[in-house]
Amino acid sequence: MKLKLDVAEMAEEFFQDAHLLGIVAPIRDYQFCWYLNQLFRFRFRANNDIEIQMTKKSRSYYFPIYEYAEPNQFLVHYLYKNHHDGEYLLPEFRHLDFLWLIKGDNVQAAFIAEMISSIRTINGVQLVVELTNEKIRNKEHLIF
């Protein structure tokens, strides 16, 4: 008997309380985190425990994830690097350098709009857009 993991249901549950921003910023991930930390007074840190590993064409690709949990709230920010060595975490969004997942407490649209506006002020940022769940074909790639 073979058991099959229902990834679609898992993805729906994972993204139930989440917002995803796509960012075009051709700068190094640690440098981008530094800018975000300065701008928002966050403390993004690389979390190697949730780093995403994908194997394609018998090669392994590693996508770092930076994490910041807001104190005294149930709100966590995850910053994913969308590409590594020619492969993409979300191939349908090849043009995006970073994916910012905001997960937890119910987040108001005004808060997201304010964040997008603030991110756009960072030197090197060319585009910031909110991605809707329907547009993301490979949601399971973001689940850690």
- Which tens digits make up the pLDDT trace of 66-100? 999 999 889 999 999 999 888 999 999 999 999 99
Domain membership flag for residue 1:
no
Query: Residue 32 falls within a domain, yes or no?
Result: yes
Count of the separate structural domains present in the chain: 1
| Per-residue confidence band for 105, with pLDDT thresholds at 50, 70 and 90 | confident
- Report pLDDT for 8: 63
CATH number at residue 67: 3.30.310
State the residue for tokens 């590409």. Answer: 83
- pLDDT(111) > 70: yes
Residue 21: inside a domain = yes
Query: Does 2 fall in a domain?
Result: no
* Residue 41 forms part of a structural domain: yes
Which H or E element spans position 76?
strand 75-81
pLDDT of residue 121: 97
Q: What integer pLDDT is reported at residue 60 of this predicted model?
A: 87
Domain hosting residue 59, numbered range? 7-142
CA distance 65 to 79: 6
- The stretches of 52-138 forming alpha helices (DSSP H) are 109-119
The continuous run of DSSP H or E covering 88 comes out as strand 87-88
pTM of the model: 0.86
CA dist 46 and 143 (Å) reads 16
Distance in angstroms (rounded) separating the CA atoms of residues 133 and 10: 14
Using DSSP, state whether 86 is helix, strand or coil. Answer: coil
The per-residue pLDDT for 51 is 87
